[in-house]
Copies of this chain bind each other. A is one copy, B any other.
């Protein structure tokens, strides 16, 4: 066959991207190497030209999933220029976010996995938590939001989306998102 160096970097990236999405959708244990490679338009044999082991890939994908999910939320928040905290809350508690865990915030999808994970995973998770806290506190409308209010806000965002995905009743799921949104926007 034969492939260029640039092509290798693209393959590498594709594998990581696919995995970062799949672990958010299915957790860190389920997706298999052969399946991930197939989804990246490759065959399983070439996997070890890119990663030392499945664990190695998963570890890298965890970090990518965390940063990627947050970057998406942050940009959505800042699209609302005059009220970025409000923008974040709207984007986070949107039905579109709930319904797309694979591309959404990994604090929700990988929270339990991170709690069971190694130190590197937890540090990457923590970095995103701190980043969100800064974002919420710094971007608050009155730019006076305390660190405490930011922690309450972030906890509620994460918990609300987690639960909204886990309940069977669509109406209750919608109600959780809508109600928590309202509650967080009260002074």
| Mask of A148-187 contacts with B, CB within 8 angstroms, 1/0 | 1101101111111011011111001001100110111000
Q: Of A9-17, A75-83, A106-114, which binds chain B?
A: A106-114
Check if A52 is an interface residue, CB within 8 A of chain B.
no
The answer to whether residues A163 and B29 also contact, given A148-B182, A156-B156 and a CB cut-off of 8 A, is: no
When C-beta atoms are compared, the residue in chain B nearest to A159 turns out to be B159
**A113 and B112 form a contact (CB under 8 A):** yes
Residues of chain A at interface, number, CB under 8 A: 51
**A155 and B168 form a contact (CB under 8 A):** no
Contacts of A112 in B (CB 8 A): 27, 108-113, 162, 165-166
Shortest distance between the CB of A123 and any CB in chain B (Å): 4
Check if A143 is an interface residue, CB within 8 A of chain B.
no
Contacts of A182 in B (CB 8 A): 148
Contacts of A155 in B (CB 8 A): 155-160, 163, 176, 180
**B163 and A180 form a contact (CB under 8 A):** no
Given A151-B179, A155-B176, A159-B159, 20 additional A-B pairs, CB 8 A: A27-B27, A27-B112, A29-B29, A108-B112, A109-B112, A111-B111, A126-B167, A129-B167, A148-B183, A151-B180, A152-B179, A152-B183, A152-B184, A154-B163, A155-B156, A155-B163, A156-B156, A156-B159, A157-B159, A162-B162
List residues of chain A with CB under 8 Å of any chain B CB.
25-27, 29-30, 101, 107-117, 119, 122-123, 125-126, 129-130, 147-149, 151-152, 154-160, 162-163, 165-169, 172, 175-176, 179-180, 182-184
